[in-house]
A and B are shown apart, each in its own frame.
Chain A
Amino acid sequence: MAWTKNVLRVNLETGSCTTEPLNMDWAHDYLGQRGLATKYLVSETDPKVEPFSPENKMIFVTGPLTGTMAATGGRYSVVTKGPLTGAIACSNSGGYFGAELKFAGWDMVIFEGASPKPVYLLITDEKAELVDASHLWGKTVWETEETIKKFHQDPQIRVAAIGRAGENKVLYAAIVNDLHRAAGRSGVGAVMGSKNLKAVAVRGTRTDAYQLANPDAFFAATEAGKKVLAANGVTGQGLPTYGTQVLMNVINELGALPTRNHREVQFEGALAIGGEAMHEKRPTDGKANLVTNGACFGCTIACGRISRMDPGHFSVKDKPQYHGASGGVEYEAAWALGAANGVSDLEALTYANFLCNEDGFDPISFGATVGAAMELYDLGLLTKEEIGFELPFGSTEGMVKLAELTARGEGFGKVIGLGSKRMCAKYGRPELSMTVKGQEFPAYDSRGLQGMGLAYATSNRGACHLRGYMVSPEVLGIPVKMEPQATEGKPAMLKAFQDLTAVVDSSGLCLFTTFAWGLADIQPQIQAACEGDWSEERLLLVGERIWNLEREYNLGAGLTGKDDNLPPRLMKEPAQTGPQKGAVSKLDIMLPEYYQLRGWTPEGVPTTETRARLGV
């Protein structure tokens, strides 16, 4: 129950769409979404597979609470082997697409092989078919969604698509649904492009797709949960008002805002690009950047930013197609497009963010790669001739041009599309790439927040803030306050966060609920929706099992404990300013304890006992 118990298997090579029952043993061991799709991927593919080969599979997957009235119950994930990292890729998205897939009657869609020509998958309840997409190839995400809705004369279809970045295999290409929500990281969009799959379009109208195990208990639990979210300062006020951008000035003042490719830890332009600035009226046209906040499906927090640009801004002056409102910058995007390369023009960040949504690429990896390119330029390793224009730190025009070129796959945009690791290696300075396992850092400096450093180093999908959000204890004091520079207790707290996050990511709920919800709030919602026993103890075991299964996949892919590291800059070059002045990452102190707590060998491999205990 709460699962539809149906899996759609699409063989892109032969064009066949077949239905099979969900493996319920696996559902009981891995819950859904992230965990369950990982189990399928591990069971069906060789971890050594080339990410762009037809042998790699790609899974769209919902959770048991997706498409329910549980607050934020609208998430889906895309799981595959990631081309940016060579590790498992699992990208989570909101919007309305995931719930629609559930209403059509599917827990997951497994894509196998590669199509000989561009196609999109059209799902109408039980019916699924591949449709020729030759006319859509080369089109943006936005054009694709509009064209599909018009062609089928159905404005209620939900679309997840790749843009030109995915087609061009930008290594951090995203899959964008509902125009501005994205399975954003690790290059899942590039895998979709490698399969010649342009889009997945879904219309779900079934009333019998799935049932709740205990409706009365479900409404009691979800209504209690909604009250907790509304009463909490972060989810009830901070996020609706400022979005994730509530963090920009907080993290900057704390001295943990990576600036100019992590050369610095504080950005003088933070105030101009933060959440408060989005509310301020522009001197140019008297309007604020922020139009309103918007929610994903079922979300009672509504942290989404809907922005409208200044139509007179140089980047869009002659481009009326960008004058309307659309998805504005969230904190991570504002940091990457701004602080990471020294740009403090909020309108330019908004434009670049529009382009990331329009052509489907991750603003975090893109912005961070631009920051690295600016450092290479600063060092004279990259020249104006090679790039086509000057690219000093802080160049708003340079960042904007690179966003356009990367979106189109033109000029130096092709190099930016490789990501920071490959670009820095290409120019002889691999150590300047601010990445873990090949994926660019998000917006927190490992020198300023010791726990985040450990979280980045050990994340199964490369540098990521969404696998164990140590910002909660280290900055916000959730569930307890931990000093940013302390190392004591951080490995244990991180393990707990990683396991809990794996549960949330497997349930259909949004991770942002955990600013207010603990497992005690989440457990009754899952228990009421799903058949079986879902005690807190069992859920944490499920989370730990998922974490270890991802780890096993990565070890099988050829990664080792040596990949649980941070760039030398963060270990050796101390923070220069602010409250964390003088600090470097103390990863080497925390990592052995973390391995021990995980039940892994000193080399970072799960022991036989751990494997047996978790059944991995």
Chain B
Amino acid sequence: MERTVDWLVVIPLAPLLAAVINFLFGKWWIRHRAHWIAVPAVGVSFLTSIVAAWTVLSRHERLHQPLYTWIRAGEFHVPVELVADQLTVVMLLVVTGVSFLVHVYSIGYMHHDPGYYRFFAWLPLFVFSMVMLVLANNFLVLFVFWEAVGLCSYLLIGFWFRRRSAAEAAKKAFVVNRIGDFGFALGIMLLFTSLRTLDYHAVFEAIPQLSSGTVTAIALLLFTGAIGKSAQLPLFVWLPDAMEGPTPVSALIHAATMVTAGIFMVARAHPIFLASPIALWVVAVIGALTAFVAATIATTQFDIKRVVAYSTVSQLGYMALALGVGAWIPAMFHLLTHAFFKALLFLGSGAVMHAMHDELDMRRMGGLKRWMPLTYWTFVIGAAANAGIVPLAGFWSKDEILVGAWVGGAPLLALVGLVAAFFTALYMFRAVFLTFHGQPRFDPHELHPHDPPATMAVPLVILAIGAAVTGFLGVPPETGWIHHALEPVFESATHHKVSLSLTLGMALASTLVALAGLWTAHAAYVRGTISPAAVAERLGPLYRLAANGWYFDVFYQRSVVRPLDAAANWLWRTVDVGIIDGAVNGSARIVALTAQMWRRLQTGLVANYALAIALGTVLLVGIYLAFGSTLFR
């Protein structure tokens, strides 16, 4: 059922207006009152999303609001329409809900920043772009806002633009994402040239007409976009650097929402992927590898935000794995729970940074538990949820992904996921113990850590509650609330029968693995029975591989960036200036030399030159008439 409504547009419009107002009037007029514009606007958006979600989920109908025709050229026709189905409203709730909390948190966190108004212009701009991405009704509009969230990411990573590191990270994020977008754009072109439409519904209807090669090409090209946006192997390198942005940005954009756009897009386009087993297989393998590789890197980092960032990459890998094995609902379920516990972890790290005067290195922390109990307990909840400890949110969703992989015909990938789960628990509790336990490794007389003010504390508590309980949306497994809610969207997908023994077995296995990780972290960083330094020494090259992010950055720098720069330079000096312009100037010189001989003709009178030009023209025309035309024949 589809119902046309006229209020859906409020969801994107409110934050857009807030962004425009703060951008235009913020610097000279609104200044430190900017949050009074932005926070209510996002609140309105959130409330409207709740209404939309309630309507869609309770009445089982799709909401639809046509806006206007954007592009029309021949048969290429792109209308802008908002559509909300079950998948959309779940995303809307996550996006606007977490956005609202992060906005509130930022009032306290960004309080003293001279760019306060700018922050509260870009942040609602992001909310606008993200909800439009979710509400889009065709692939090109999706792409437009896909790039728009990329722009917001650029603006917010580079928020402290006077720092070289921030400017570099922002640029890197945009350019690396553009590599993914290159594939995405080609996928859209191929879709249109094959089907003459970009409308979701029409495309999915027409998929069976296409050859399997074309479908696979389209699916893989679209997934290339997801690899960039959702930081999958091998394009994940931008996300850890994106931590140069203010911490609320890391929480909202680079953990809870924007980076999940790739996952959302694949879920949205699932009929295309379902038509191509090869593409699904690629998605699953890349997801599993990403989950594993990023987890190993996270285990070796000392910067608290980078640990959480690599953890994000790893969790996104789990989601991609779920998509690839056809576990569509578990993927969205994990997206939902992850949004809560990862936003919580980032905001918690932000509270720590706030208390520690922007210190990020966990080697200079320790023992913070006694000064920051609220931050500690919320952070522990987030960490345990991320590590998949029963009964917190991450446990339920991750478990379902592993079960899905097992029954989806990829038991090997399920095992990779289990190994990654060990590292997940290890790095998460390593971070907890290094930061909050033990003796302070800083001077407590100089720094006086303390829990954050109310505007920051309340979002932490709400997110902690979310991280604790959202998992129950998926209980009992396979038939929870989330499954019923999303079922209509993924009707076409095949459903595997999952036996109770398998569910329990996998739950037991993943719990044991998580506890093993927790125990290892405890042994290494609390009891001291394992020496991390000795282990690192022992592992040698393997440790260095992980500590250096598997050398992806080095590889890109050496094999792409520098060679391309060198090639461009060579092209410029040799081909452009040397050969092409050389030929031009050379012929000019020949003319000049000839002219030296003819210089007696040079009178300096313009009239003579005009005459010469005219004569030359006549000559050329004459030559043509004599030889080229049929006039004299």
Instruction: Judge: A and B partners, yes or no.
Output: no
Query: Which residues of B are in contact with A by a Cβ distance under 8 Å?
Result: none
Binding site for B on A (CB under 8 A): none
